A and B are shown apart, each in its own frame.
Chain A
Amino acid sequence: MKKIGLISGMVILLIIVTGCMQPNNNEKNEVAKETQGEKTDLILAVGSEPDTGFDPTTGWGRYGSPLFQSTLLKRDNDLNIVNDVATDYEISDNGLTWKVELRKDVVFTDGEPLTSEDVKYTFETARDGGSVLDLSVVEKVEVEGDFTVTFTLKEPRSTFIQSLITTGIVPKHAHGDGYAENPIGSGPFQFVQWDKGQQLIIEKNQNYYEEQPYFEKITFLFLGEDAAFARAQAGEVDMAYIPAAFSNQQVPGMRLESVQTVDNRGVQFPYVKSGQTTEEGYPIGNDVTADPAIRKAINIAVDRDALVEGVLEGHGTPAYTSVDGLPWWNPETVIEDGNMEAASELLEKAGWIKGDNGILQKDGLKAEFTLLYSASDVTRQSLAIAFADMMKPLGISILVDGKSWDEIEKMMYSNAVLFGWGSQDPLEMYNLYSSKNAGVEYFNTGFYQNSKVDAYMDLALTATDQSEANEYWKKAQWDGSTGLSAKGDAPWAWLVNVNHLYLVDDQLDIGDQRIHPHGHGWPVTDNLVEWKWK
């Protein structure tokens, strides 16, 4: 009796096990078949989940393409501004009113046409919602007929054009509480399904007004970098984003795409001497970094190429400003770095003398300061440690300390901080360097101030023409005698731009990638419409 029981038990077990394995085999066969024939769907693991859903009025689409919605303007692959829903835009001479003409053939996926009322509704909602999109400069939005919109600004703002590029238009008639989980738009793709914490499935929008995307269906898997890499190794995704540490690994059938970015990392120095405190009582300023010689010497001495090679495994570029490679970047800001002798000379001239333990001193002040970094970020940690070690031979002692952002917020006005920025909007440069932003959020924590730079940036903001604005942005960086770059006041030591790394199926063509902003992942979807099989 016992034996029979045992045998039947084993048989049952066998059935269960083989039963479990059956579907897996089938799945594999299907995948194999699909890759041989024409496969029209795509599985991507390229980013983390947008926490707030897919509502452009609360920030969706700031990085990368909003996918479901279309925008008024967009950038082409060379970062030039071209029309999307708009057919034309005009800025008044005083820079205060922007008149935008719309296409007449745009329809939402529910069949309703996109009109100027929708545009008005989108911008007003986004402004009043107080979201991460800063639209407070918009005074009013007016509608003339169905296809003309006029924006009136409180003050001239050339960077307002960025809002027209990034803000996806939502349908007024179908925008409500559940919109972020079930978006309707007029963009190249339409929403199918979102399993929170797992995946997003989208489909091609058959009624899209411009060239149709190549792929019928795209699935985004929300995985961490490690998990994405594991899936890529298993051949389960067509594309995965990976950290630099994995870049030396070969995955059969996939290639490594290293995309240039302005996703920069740099050290912000307290620019003023110590003594003051913020309203909350946090100390401001640092006597060591307030000395321009120290800041400049660090900028000259740091070997940015070595940091790129050593910390980023070669997947990055040296950074000289926060806007490297963008249309408003001034190439004259590139300095010759890794030059210890020149740096030492500069310090000597400024009166810094080597003390006993090899640390420089000046009037009893030791050349020593603390560099804070976000403890949870390995790249920043590595950069901070390597950077501090690089400065040791120079005689500047940098004490590295990893903290949480909550702790950093209390100390960031009086200590150097390793920050990361990078945006396709020149307004970011204004935020980082304008004296108006001293001590505001994470902008200009060093209390940098240069009235000439401020003046240039104000001129850039009030310019009515983009190329004119760009000229002023460039002058703010370096005008031949002063500026916010390392050649001028050097309130920052920019270190590197971190390339974004993706493992991509050998057959997949992801087009020409533009210079990516801060944030690994979504920016790659910017030109998703152009992707195809080779």
Chain B
Amino acid sequence: MQLSNKQLLKQPLNKRQRTLLVCIGLSIVVCVVVLTGILLDENRIATNLEVRNSPPSLDHLFGTDWLGRDMFSRTLMGLSLSIGVGLTGAIGSATISVILGLVAATMGKVADSIVTWLIDLFLSVPHLVSLILIAFAFGGGFKGIVLGIALTHWPSLARVIRSEVMQVRSLDFVQVSKKMGKSRWWITKEHMLPHIIPQMLVGVLLLFPHAILHEAAVTFLGLGLSPQEPAIGIILSESMRYLSVGMWWLAFFPGICLLFIVRMFDKIGDNLRMLIDPHHAHR
């Protein structure tokens, strides 16, 4: 039986299609936020002492702060800064974990035990503590936070990749390659790496929300970025002072936006895993 176009449209999408759509939609939202944040002119957050402390209105969707700066623009800029930090941090972290995972799984027992020990070491200290220490050691600022995030978020992903590589290593074609005298490096490059790319992608995306939240936490605590920069954590910590005066919009909108963005990344990561992971892909 042939389905007409109309019927096709009416027919509910299957899970795979829906997942894909959600993924695309969310990615577009994130891109829009990042782009507007980057493209917004600095003048948008210039002080305007005449419209201080005004609640949300059509002119200022998220209201203004105590210096008359537009909170909508500040929030967007803060979000794009956070996403930028998150992105660089997550990619850095993923790179570290791939390298260490591969090293652990292919370079023999000694390398493996060293890497496992490193992973355990980093996992035994709370993220935030080591993050603050590292950020501080690198002199704070944007660089400090990015390095801090990159250097603290790799252990769990490294562990996943290590076990994945170990599994692949025992498979027949790898054993055959080995017997045929291929070098370790060649096997790693040609056989292992392609196998772990899906895990890596999902890993990066799931690292993302962590990285953003930790960036917000660190700037909230007043470490790292200078307080006039529009980072979400800074905006939130500033607004704490004004909550008791009843200026709820200072904390509410940026907080909600941060939550949304983090949830979005989480969702994209989950959906992507569903698409890529062979165990889920058939459902």
A binds B: yes
* Binding site secondary structure of chain A: helix
Indicate whether A385 sits within 8 Å of B226 (C-beta atoms), given known contacts A229-B244, A245-B242.
no
Q: Of A245, A249, A309, which is within 8 A of B66 by CB? A: A245
For window 232-283 of B, CB contacts with A under 8 Å fall at 238, 241-242, 244-245
A226 near B226 with CB under 8 A, answer no
Q: Which residues of B sit under 8 angstroms from A310, Cβ to Cβ?
A: 47, 49, 52, 67-68
Q: Would you call B49 and A386 a contact (CB within 8 A)?
A: yes
- Complex CA gap A371/B66 in Å reads 20
CB contacts (< 8 Å) of B67 on chain A: these are 310-311, 382, 385-386
Interface residues on B, range: 10 to 19
Contact A402 B49, CB 8 Å, known A229-B244, A249-B245? no
Residues in A neighbouring B242, C-beta threshold 8 A: 245
A260 to B26, CA, bound (A): 55
Q: How far is the CA of A249 from the CA of B222 in the complex (A)?
A: 27
Contact of A385 among B47, B222, B245 (CB under 8 A): B47
The interface residues of chain B, by DSSP majority, are classed as loop
Which of A23-31, A102-110, A143-151, A373-381 makes up part of the contact surface? A373-381
Contact check, A402 vs B226: say whether CB atoms are below 8 A apart: yes
Task: Tell me which residues across on chain B come within 8 A of A311, comparing CB atoms.
Answer: 49, 67
A245 and B49 contact, Cβ closer than 8 Å, known pairs A310-B67, A375-B226, A382-B66: no
For residue A389, CB closer than 8 A to chain B, the reply is: yes
**Is there a chain A Cβ closer than 8 Å to B84's Cβ?**
no
Q: Nearest CB to that of B242 among chain A residues? A: A245
Please state if B245 and A248 are interface contacts (CB–CB under 8 Å).
yes
Give the docked Cα–Cα distance between A401 and B229 (Å).
Answer: 9
CA distance A401 to B226 in the complex (A): 6
Q: Is B170 on the interface with A (CB-CB < 8 A)?
A: no
Interface string of B51-86 (1 = CB under 8 A from A): 010000000000000111000000000000000000
Interface residues of A in 378-403 (CB under 8 A from B): 378, 381-382, 384-386, 389, 392, 400-403
What separation, in Å, do the CA atoms of A190 and B264 have in the docked complex? Answer: 63
On chain A, the residues within 8 Å of B52 by CB distance are 310
Write out the residue numbers on chain A whose beta carbons fall within 8 Å of the beta carbon of B241: 226, 243, 245, 378
Kindly list chain B residues whose C-beta atoms are within 8 Å of the C-beta of A306: 49
Asked if B46 is an interface residue, CB under 8 A from chain A, the answer is yes
In the bound complex, residues from chain B placing their C-beta under 8 Å from that of A401 are: 226, 228
Q: Of B66, B228, B244, which one neighbours A384 at CB under 8 angstroms?
A: B228
Instruction: Please give, as numbers and ranges, the residues of chain B lying within 8 Å of A376 by CB-CB distance.
Output: 222
- Which single member of A226, A249, A389 contacts B47 (CB below 8 Å)? A389
CB distance from B143 to the nearest CB of A (A): 14
Given A310-B68, A375-B222, A400 and B46 contact (CB-CB distance below 8 Å)? no
CA distance A386 to B86 in the complex (A): 30
Determine whether the beta carbon of A375 is less than 8 Å from that of B49: no
Q: Is B227 an interface residue (CB 8 A)?
A: yes
Taking CB atoms, residues of chain A closer than 8 Å to B68 are 310
Contact A402 B227 (CB under 8 A): yes
B137 to chain A, nearest CB (A): 15
Q: Which of B227, B238, B245 contacts A246 (CB 8 A)?
A: B245
- Which residue of chain A is the closest to B46 with respect to CB atoms? A389
What is the minimal beta-carbon distance from B71 to any residue of chain A, in angstroms? Answer: 15
Are A403 and B226 neighbours in the complex by a CB distance under 8 Å?
A: yes
Q: Which of A198-256 contact B (CB under 8 A)?
A: 226, 229-230, 243, 245-246, 248-249
User: In the complex, what residue of chain B is closest to A387 when comparing beta carbons?
Assistant: B47
Do residues A309 and B222 form an inter-chain contact, with CB atoms below 8 A? no
Q: How far is the CA of A43 from the CA of B245 in the complex (A)?
A: 24
Nearest CB of B to A254, in Å? 16
Shortest distance from the beta carbon of A476 to any chain B beta carbon, whole Å? 34
For the complex, what is the distance from the CA of A378 to the CA of B222, rounded to whole Å? 12
A403 to B228, CA, bound (A): 10
A246-B245, A382-B67 known; A309 and B227 CB under 8 Å? no
- List residues 247-287 of chain A with CB under 8 A from any CB of chain B: 248-249
A307 to B68, CA, bound (A): 12
Q: Which residue of A lies closest to B240 (CB)?
A: A226
Chain B, residue nearest A229 (CB):
B244
Per the bound structure, the CA–CA distance linking A33 and B231 in Å amounts to: 51
How far apart sit A385 and B66, CA to CA, in the bound complex (Å)? 12
Which residue, B49, B52, B227, has most C-beta atoms of chain A within 10 A? Answer: B227
Which B residues are in CB contact (< 8 Å) with A248?
Answer: 245
**Chain A contacts with B in 349-376, Cβ cutoff 8 A:** 375-376
Chain A nearest Cβ from B280, distance in angstroms: 47
Contact B227 A381 (CB under 8 A): yes
Q: Cβ of B244 and Cβ of A381 under 8 Å apart?
A: no
- By a CB distance below 8 angstroms, the chain B residues around A246 are 244-245
B-side contacts of A403, CB under 8 Å: 226
Contact pattern, B 209-236, Cβ under 8 Å of A = 1, otherwise 0? 0000000000000100011100000000
Bound Cα distance from A310 to B68, whole angstroms? 9
With a cutoff of 8 Å between Cβ atoms, the chain A residues found around residue B245 in the complex are 245-246, 248-249
Least CB separation from B226: chain A residue = A402
Q: How far is the CB of A371 from chain B (nearest CB, A)?
A: 10
Most chain A C-beta atoms within 10 Å of own C-beta, residue among B226, B228, B244: B228
Measured CB to CB, the nearest residue on chain A to B43 is A392
Query: B66: which A residues are within 8 A, CB to CB?
Result: 245, 382
Q: How far is the CA of A376 from the CA of B245 in the complex (A)?
A: 20
Please report the C-alpha to C-alpha distance between residue A507 and residue B244 in the assembled complex, in whole angstroms: 26
Taking CB atoms and an 8 Å cut-off, the chain B residues in 179-208 that contact chain A are: none
Contacts of A402 in B (CB 8 A): 226-228
Which chain B residue has the least Cβ–Cβ distance from A401? B226
A400, B222: Cβ atoms closer than 8 Å: no
CA distance A384 to B66 in the complex (A): 14
**Chain B contacts for A381, CB-based, 8 A:** 227-228
Q: How far is the CB of B2 from chain A (nearest CB, A)?
A: 63
Most chain B CB inside 10 Å of its own CB: which residue of A246, A310, A375, A378: A310
Q: Which residues of B contact A243 (CB under 8 A)?
A: 241
Q: What 1/0 flags go to A399-419 for Cβ under 8 Å of B?
A: 011110000000000000000
Smallest CB separation, B39 vs chain A (Å): 17
Known: A386-B67, A389-B47. 19 other contacts (CB 8 A): A226-B241, A226-B244, A229-B244, A245-B242, A245-B245, A248-B245, A306-B49, A309-B49, A310-B47, A310-B49, A310-B52, A310-B67, A375-B222, A382-B67, A384-B228, A385-B47, A386-B49, A392-B46, A401-B228
Report which B residues bind A (CB closer than 8 A): 46-47, 49, 52, 66-68, 222, 226-228, 238, 241-242, 244-245
3 cross-chain pairs, A with B, having the tightest CB-CB distances, nearest first: A310-B49, A402-B226, A389-B47
Residue contacts A-B, CB under 8 angstroms, 22 given: A243-B241, A245-B242, A245-B245, A246-B245, A248-B245, A306-B49, A309-B49, A310-B67, A311-B67, A375-B222, A376-B222, A378-B241, A381-B227, A381-B228, A384-B228, A385-B67, A386-B49, A386-B67, A392-B46, A400-B228, A401-B226, A401-B228
